[in-house]
Chain A
Amino acid sequence: MVAAAGLGKSVPIAHLPGSGANAHRTLTILQNINLEILQGEAVAIVGASGSGKSTLLGLLAGLDVPSAGTVRLENDDLFQLDEDGRARLRAAKVGFVFQSFQLLPAFTALENVMLPLELAGRPDARNDAAAILTRVGLGERLGHYPKYLSGGEQQRVALARAFVVRPKVLFADEPTGNLDAQTGATIIDLLFELNAERGTTLILVTHDEALAKRCARAVRLVAGCIAQ
C-alpha cells in the first residue's frame, strides 16, 4: 500500500535582483495531495506537461523530499527515514522504469539487470537476470550493450531490471514516452503481464490515454492539485 497525505512541494526561486536578502520567492509544484493506492492496484497519474506528475512520482518513490505532508509505503513513513534509510527501503521494495530507459551504457544488457541484485549482494544474480531477460524476449541479446539495442529492446531490459528484484511497488515514468505507438503497446502488454504475474502495485505517470485506461484508476493532476 502507498498512501500520501497532505503532500506538497515548493521550490525556492533564485533571488531576484534588488529584492533583498530575505525576499525569497517560491514556486509551488504540488499542493495538498491525498492519495491511497492499494496493494496490487494499478494507478495512472495523468495531466498536462508541468502539472507536477513526475514530481509526485518522485515523492511517492522517496526519491525527493516534500515541503509538506507524508508518504507511507506499507508500514514505513518515508520521510521519517533519512536518505540512506529510504535507499534501503527502495532496494527492498521498489522498482523503477524510466522514460529514457536509464540503462548504464558501459554495462551489457545482462549486467544492467544484474546490477540491483549485485547491489543487494545476491549470489545468483547472473542466473536470475538471464532468466528474466529470456522472459522479456531478450535471451539472445544478453551480451549486447544498450547502444546496440533498439528503443523497445532497451525498455525491455529496463523492465527486466525493475522486476528482477520482485518489488512490491513499481514506479514507471512515461514508460512509452520515447517509443513509437506499436513498440509502446508491446511494452505496455509486457508491463501488465509482469505486473499480473508478480502481484506488484503499479504507479505510472503517462500522457498516453490508452495506457491510462488500462489502469484500474487514473489520478488527474491540474496545476499541482488532484482534479476531482
Chain B
Amino acid sequence: MIGLRFLYRDWRAGELGILVIAIVIAVTSITSVSFFADRVNQALLRDAHQLLGGDVLLIADRPWDGAIEREARARGLAVATSTNFISMARAGDSAELAAVKAVSEGYPLRGRLRIADAPLVGDRETRAIPAAGVAWVDERLVGALGIGAGQSLELGKTGLKIDAIITQEPDRGVSFFNLAPRVLINLVDLPATGLIQTGSRVTFQIYVAGERPAIESFEAWAKTKLDRGQSLQSLANARPEVRATLDRAEQFLGLTALLAVILAAVAIGLGTRRYVARHLDGYAVMRCLGATQARLFRLCMSEFIILALVASLMGCLLGLAAQALIAYWLSELLGASLPGPSLAPMLQGLAAGVLLLVGFAMPPLLALKNVPAPRVIRRDAGAPHAGALVAYGTALVALALLLIWQAGSVKLGLTVLGGFIGALLVFGLVAFVVVRGLAHAAKVLPLSIRFGIANMRRRERASIVQIVALAIGLMAILMLNFTRGDLIDAWRAKTPTGAPNRFVLNIQPDQLQPVREFFTAERMAPPAIYPMVRGRLIAINGNAIDADSLDERGKRLVEREFNLSYLETLPAHNRIVSGRWFDEGDLKAGAASIEEGIAKTLGAKLGDVLTWSVAGEKIVSPITNVRKLDWDSVQVNFFVIATPALLTGSPTSFITSMHVSSADANAMNRLSKAFPNLTIVDMSAILRQALSVVEQVVRAVQMVFLFALGAGVLVLYTALLATQDERAQETAIMRTLGASRAQVQRAQRIEFLAIGLIAGMLAAIGATAIEALLAAQVFQLTHTINLWIWLAGPAGGVLLAGWNAWSGARAATRLPPVVSLREI
C-alpha cells in the first residue's frame, strides 16, 4: 500500500515519466511483433490440416500412374486429385498470368472453400467444386482482366463462365508469396483447354483423407512407393517451407524490435540514475526516521514493480494496436484471414517490462538503500555507489535473457547481443574521437561556438551516450528509406535497356513457324527461339545421385525435372570458362555444356559423364565445357545445353524472350489470343509484384524501426535531463557574471546542434557501410554512394537534437539567476 502511495507521489512529481515512456516503447515494440506472430502461428495451427487439403498430400511433377489412388480407395480412404500449372487467362483483348488448379470431386477433403457471388459481397462456405464449364477465380484476376462474375474467361482453347469469387482456399493457407491469381476449374474441363502439353510445368496432386489408423498405414505404404520427383506431405511435415519462411520472418521482426528495447534500456538506466540522485536525501531522511534498509528496498522495489507492470500493460495495449497495423500491411501477402491474438504475448510483454526495469534499475536502487543516514547532517557523507560490475552485470544479464528469449536460441541471442554491443562500442569510439577532435579544432572559432563545443566536451560521457543513441535510431530509419531504393536502382541500372521483358513459353513444334510469322506480321523483330526438353539428372560418372549429400539448392535441382536445351552454337550471352564449345566430333558423339554455378552445386566438372532421364530414356553425355552466364542480361538461359543429336527425338517445347515496348503491349494480347496455349510471362509485372511485396514488408519493418528511433530520442532527452541541474547552475553563474541570455542560449544550442550533426553523420556512415556491404556481398551490385543519405542523416540529427536544444536552453535561461541558484 505504502508502495502505491510513494508511486503516486513520485508520479505526481514527474519523476517517473521517462521510465514509463521507456518501458512503454520497449514493450510496445516487443508485443507488436509477438502479437502478430501469435496470430500467424494460430492461423498455421488452425490451418495445419487444411493446409494440405487432406490428411496426406502426394505431389509429383508427372502424372501419377493410378496405383496410389487405387490403393487408397481400396483401403476405404477418401481421394481427390488436382492438377496445377501456370497459364494465361484471357478476356477480350487482355490476358493475365494465372495459377490454374483443376480439381476432382471431393476437393478439398479437409478444410472448406469459401466463395462469394461477386467481389466485395458476403461470402459463404461451399462443399462443392466448380461445375463443368465454370471457373471460380481470385478477385485480383477479375480486377486485372476488367471482367465480372457471370462473364466468360478463356483458358487455353476453351471458354469458362466465371461463377464465383474465391475468398478462401484452404490449402493455399498462410504463405508469403502467391504471385499469380487463382483460377479453379473442374478437372473434367482440363483436356479441353489443351494446356497440358510437352514442356508444361505441371504439378499433380493426390489428396487422401480418412480414419487415423488407416491413414497412418497408408502413409507408411505410400512412402515406399515414391519415385524421384514424387513427395508425400502429412500433418507432421506439412508445408515446411511456409513454416520456415514464417519462422525466419518472425525472428527477424523480433530482433528488430529488440533494437528499440536496447535503446529503451539505456534510457531506463539513465532515468534510474537520475531518480536515485534525486532521492538520496529523501532516503537518508527516511533512514533517520527509522526505516530499515530492507524496508527501504522493499518500498523501492514494490514501487518500481508496480510501475513496470502498469507501464508494460500500456505497452501491451499499444502493441496490440500496432500489430493490427502490421497485419493490415502484410494482409495481401499472408493471403489468409488471421485469428484474433491470444493473451500469451501479453504475459511476455509484462514479463519483459518488469525484467527490463528490474535489471536496469536494481543496481542503482540497491545503492539507494545503502544511503548513509549522516548525509542529512553532513553532505560529505556522500552518495553510495553500486559496483560497476554489479550494475552492468545485472543489466547485461537482463538484456541477454530478453534477447535469447526473443531469438529463441542461445547462440543467436548472444550473437545478436554481441553484435549490438560491438556496434555500440564502435559508434561510441567514433563519437569520442570526434568530440575530442572538435573540441581541439574549435579553439579558433568564435566564442559562443567554442563555448558550445567545450560544453559538449566537458559533459563528454553524456554527449557520447546521446550521440550513439540518436545515431542508431537514425541509421535504422535511413537504411529503410534509402538502402532499399538504392539497391533497386543499382539493379535496374545493371539491367541493359532493351533487355527482354517478356518470356514466351510452351511453344509447340508445330507452332514454331506460325509464331515466327506472327512476329513478322506484327512488324516486330523475330526473336531467337530455343528448344527446351525436360529431364532429370540421375547419375554423374555412373554413380546415382544422392540427393541427401547435396545442399538445399542441389536437392531441389535433382528432385525435380529441369530444363535442358540443345544447340549447335554457343548463345551470344554465354562465355566458356573451361573446355571448348562442341566440335564436329562432339556433335556426332553427343556432349553436354554445363553452367559454372550449377556444376559446383552438383559437384560435376569438366570431363564428367552425366546421365539423364528424359521421357523415360537414358541420355548419357560427357561435359566438354563449362559456361558462365550473364544472368543480368535477362535472356533465356539454360543450365545444361546438349548437342542436338542427343535430344532432337525427345519431347520438345520452345521458349523465347524479347523486349516489348509499351506500344507493342497489345501485340502480346493478340499473340495470346492466336496461340491460347502459350504462357507469356511479363517480367516487369513480376518485378512490380516483387517490389510491392518488398514495399509491404518494409512498411511493417519500418514501424518496428520507428520504435527504435523513438527510444533513441528518449535517450537523448534523458541524457539532457541528467545534465539539466548542472546546466541550470552553470547558466545561473554565467549570467551572474554578466553573460547575456542570448549568449548562454547560443552556447547551449551550438552544443546540441553539434551533437545532432555528429549523430547524423554517424548514422549516414553506418547506413552507407551496411548498404555497401549488402550490395557487394549479398546482391553483387556496384554500389554508388547516395548523397541524400548524407543530407538526410545530419538534417534528421539536427532536427531531433534541435528540439532538445531549444527547449533545454530556454528552460535554463527562463528563470532569473537568483532563482536558479536557490533551486539548486
A residues within 8 Å of B by Cβ?
54-55, 57-58, 61, 63-64, 83-84, 87-92, 94, 96, 98, 102, 104-107, 111, 115-116, 118-120, 147, 161, 165, 173
User: Is B295 in contact with A119, judged by CB distance below 8 angstroms?
Assistant: yes
- Which residues in A have their C-beta under 8 angstroms from that of B282? 104-106
B376 contacts chain A at the CB level, 8 A cutoff:
yes
In Å, the complex CA distance between A197 and B274 comes to 42
B285-301 vs A, Cβ < 8 Å mask (1 yes, 0 no): 11111111111000000
Q: A88's contact among B15, B292, B377, B378, by CB below 8 Å, is which? A: B292
Q: B289's contact among A58, A90, A107, A111, by CB below 8 Å, is which? A: A90
B523 contacts chain A at the CB level, 8 A cutoff:
no
In Å, the complex CA distance between A54 and B379 comes to 11
Among residues of A, the one whose C-beta sits closest to the C-beta of B282 is: A104
In Å, the complex CA distance between A86 and B294 comes to 13
In Å, the complex CA distance between A116 and B291 comes to 9
A-B contact pairs, 16 of them (CB 8 A): A58-B378, A61-B288, A87-B292, A88-B292, A89-B290, A90-B290, A106-B9, A106-B10, A111-B9, A116-B289, A116-B290, A118-B2, A118-B5, A119-B289, A119-B290, A119-B295
- Which residues in B have their C-beta under 8 angstroms from that of A119? 2, 286, 289-291, 295
**In chain B between 415 and 454, which residues have their CB closer than 8 angstroms to a CB of chain A?**
none
User: Is A87 in contact with B13, judged by CB distance below 8 angstroms?
Assistant: no
User: Is A106 in contact with B12, judged by CB distance below 8 angstroms?
Assistant: yes
Q: How many A-B residue pairs have CB under 8 A?
A: 82
Q: B376's contact among A98, A111, A118, by CB below 8 Å, is which? A: A98
**In chain B between 1 and 50, which residues have their CB closer than 8 angstroms to a CB of chain A?**
2, 5, 9-10, 12-13, 15
In Å, the complex CA distance between A98 and B287 comes to 14
- In the assembled complex, how far is the CB of residue B368 from the closest CB belonging to chain A, in whole angstroms? 14
In Å, the complex CA distance between A88 and B285 comes to 14
B281 contacts chain A at the CB level, 8 A cutoff:
yes
User: Is A54 in contact with B377, judged by CB distance below 8 angstroms?
Assistant: yes
- Which residues in B have their C-beta under 8 angstroms from that of A96? 288-289, 376
Among residues of B, the one whose C-beta sits closest to the C-beta of A173 is: B377
- In the assembled complex, how far is the CB of residue B101 from the closest CB belonging to chain A, in whole angstroms? 69
- In the assembled complex, how far is the CB of residue A122 from the closest CB belonging to chain B, in whole angstroms? 11
- In the assembled complex, how far is the CB of residue A219 from the closest CB belonging to chain B, in whole angstroms? 17
Question: Known: A104-B282, A106-B9. Contact between A115 and B377, CB under 8 A?
Answer: no
In Å, the complex CA distance between A105 and B281 comes to 10
- Which residues in B have their C-beta under 8 angstroms from that of A55? 378
Question: Known: A54-B377, A118-B5. Contact between A91 and B13, CB under 8 A?
Answer: no
Question: Known: A63-B374, A118-B5. Contact between A84 and B293, CB under 8 A?
Answer: yes
In Å, the complex CA distance between A45 and B823 comes to 30
In Å, the complex CA distance between A84 and B290 comes to 8
- In the assembled complex, how far is the CB of residue A33 from the closest CB belonging to chain B, in whole angstroms? 16
User: Is B15 in contact with A106, judged by CB distance below 8 angstroms?
Assistant: yes
Interface secondary structure of A, over-half rule = helix
B155 contacts chain A at the CB level, 8 A cutoff:
no
**Knowing that A63-B377, A88-B292 are A-B contacts, what are 8 other residue pairs whose CB atoms are under 8 Å apart, sorted by A's residue number?**
A58-B373, A63-B287, A104-B281, A104-B285, A105-B13, A115-B286, A119-B286, A120-B290
**In chain B between 367 and 408, which residues have their CB closer than 8 angstroms to a CB of chain A?**
372-374, 376-378, 381
Among residues of A, the one whose C-beta sits closest to the C-beta of B375 is: A63
- In the assembled complex, how far is the CB of residue B304 from the closest CB belonging to chain A, in whole angstroms? 15
In Å, the complex CA distance between A66 and B334 comes to 73
- Which residues in B have their C-beta under 8 angstroms from that of A105? 13, 282
In Å, the complex CA distance between A89 and B381 comes to 22
User: Is B374 in contact with A92, judged by CB distance below 8 angstroms?
Assistant: no
- Which residues in A have their C-beta under 8 angstroms from that of B376? 63, 96, 98, 102, 173
In Å, the complex CA distance between A96 and B823 comes to 23
- Which residues in A have their C-beta under 8 angstroms from that of B286? 115, 119
Number of interface residues of B (CB under 8 A): 29
In Å, the complex CA distance between A65 and B752 comes to 47
- Which residues in B have their C-beta under 8 angstroms from that of A90? 288-290
In Å, the complex CA distance between A8 and B293 comes to 26
Among residues of A, the one whose C-beta sits closest to the C-beta of B293 is: A84
Question: Known: A96-B376, A98-B376. Contact between A84 and B294, CB under 8 A?
Answer: yes
B705-722 vs A, Cβ < 8 Å mask (1 yes, 0 no): 000000000000000000
The winner among B10, B13, B292, B372 for most chain A CB atoms within 10 A is B292
- In the assembled complex, how far is the CB of residue A52 from the closest CB belonging to chain B, in whole angstroms? 11
User: Is A88 in contact with B290, judged by CB distance below 8 angstroms?
Assistant: yes
- In the assembled complex, how far is the CB of residue A94 from the closest CB belonging to chain B, in whole angstroms? 7
- Give the 10 A-B residue pairs with the shortest CB-CB distance, closest first: A91-B290, A106-B13, A84-B292, A90-B290, A63-B373, A116-B289, A104-B282, A64-B374, A87-B292, A58-B374
- Which residues in B have their C-beta under 8 angstroms from that of A88? 290, 292
In Å, the complex CA distance between A105 and B377 comes to 17
In Å, the complex CA distance between A114 and B377 comes to 22
User: Is B9 in contact with A91, judged by CB distance below 8 angstroms?
Assistant: no
User: Is B290 in contact with A92, judged by CB distance below 8 angstroms?
Assistant: yes
- In the assembled complex, how far is the CB of residue A100 from the closest CB belonging to chain B, in whole angstroms? 8
- In the assembled complex, how far is the CB of residue B296 from the closest CB belonging to chain A, in whole angstroms? 9
- In the assembled complex, how far is the CB of residue A70 from the closest CB belonging to chain B, in whole angstroms? 18
Among residues of B, the one whose C-beta sits closest to the C-beta of A99 is: B377
- In the assembled complex, how far is the CB of residue B529 from the closest CB belonging to chain A, in whole angstroms? 84
In Å, the complex CA distance between A57 and B295 comes to 25
- In the assembled complex, how far is the CB of residue A150 from the closest CB belonging to chain B, in whole angstroms? 12
- Which residues in B have their C-beta under 8 angstroms from that of A120? 290
- Which residues in A have their C-beta under 8 angstroms from that of B285? 102, 104, 115
In Å, the complex CA distance between A91 and B288 comes to 8
Among residues of B, the one whose C-beta sits closest to the C-beta of A89 is: B290
**In chain B between 271 and 324, which residues have their CB closer than 8 angstroms to a CB of chain A?**
281-282, 284-295
Question: Known: A64-B374, A102-B376. Contact between A87 and B9, CB under 8 A?
Answer: no
Question: Known: A106-B15, A107-B9, A119-B295. Contact between A91 and B289, CB under 8 A?
Answer: yes
- In the assembled complex, how far is the CB of residue B80 from the closest CB belonging to chain A, in whole angstroms? 72
The winner among A61, A94, A98, A102 for most chain B CB atoms within 10 A is A102
User: Is B291 in contact with A91, judged by CB distance below 8 angstroms?
Assistant: yes
The winner among B288, B291, B292, B372 for most chain A CB atoms within 10 A is B288
- Which residues in A have their C-beta under 8 angstroms from that of B9? 106-107, 111
In Å, the complex CA distance between A55 and B285 comes to 17
Q: B290's contact among A87, A106, A107, A161, by CB below 8 Å, is which? A: A87
In Å, the complex CA distance between A118 and B1 comes to 10
- Which residues in B have their C-beta under 8 angstroms from that of A87? 287, 290-293, 295
- In the assembled complex, how far is the CB of residue B16 from the closest CB belonging to chain A, in whole angstroms? 10
User: Is A54 in contact with B378, judged by CB distance below 8 angstroms?
Assistant: yes
- In the assembled complex, how far is the CB of residue B489 from the closest CB belonging to chain A, in whole angstroms? 56
In Å, the complex CA distance between A116 and B285 comes to 10
In Å, the complex CA distance between A120 and B289 comes to 9
In Å, the complex CA distance between A161 and B376 comes to 15
- In the assembled complex, how far is the CB of residue A152 from the closest CB belonging to chain B, in whole angstroms? 15
- Which residues in A have their C-beta under 8 angstroms from that of B374? 58, 63-64
In Å, the complex CA distance between A104 and B285 comes to 8
In Å, the complex CA distance between A54 and B282 comes to 19
- Which residues in B have their C-beta under 8 angstroms from that of A94? 290
- Which residues in A have their C-beta under 8 angstroms from that of B294? 84
Among residues of A, the one whose C-beta sits closest to the C-beta of B295 is: A119
In Å, the complex CA distance between A63 and B372 comes to 8
- Which residues in B have their C-beta under 8 angstroms from that of A61? 288
User: Is A102 in contact with B281, judged by CB distance below 8 angstroms?
Assistant: yes
Question: Known: A104-B282, A105-B13. Contact between A57 and B290, CB under 8 A?
Answer: no
In Å, the complex CA distance between A58 and B12 comes to 33
Among residues of A, the one whose C-beta sits closest to the C-beta of B289 is: A116
- In the assembled complex, how far is the CB of residue B815 from the closest CB belonging to chain A, in whole angstroms? 12
User: Is B288 in contact with A115, judged by CB distance below 8 angstroms?
Assistant: no
In Å, the complex CA distance between A58 and B380 comes to 13
Q: A115's contact among B13, B281, B289, by CB below 8 Å, is which? A: B289
- Which residues in A have their C-beta under 8 angstroms from that of B284? 102
Among residues of A, the one whose C-beta sits closest to the C-beta of B299 is: A119
B63-93 vs A, Cβ < 8 Å mask (1 yes, 0 no): 0000000000000000000000000000000
- Which residues in B have their C-beta under 8 angstroms from that of A115? 285-286, 289
- Which residues in A have their C-beta under 8 angstroms from that of B2? 118-119
In Å, the complex CA distance between A57 and B281 comes to 18
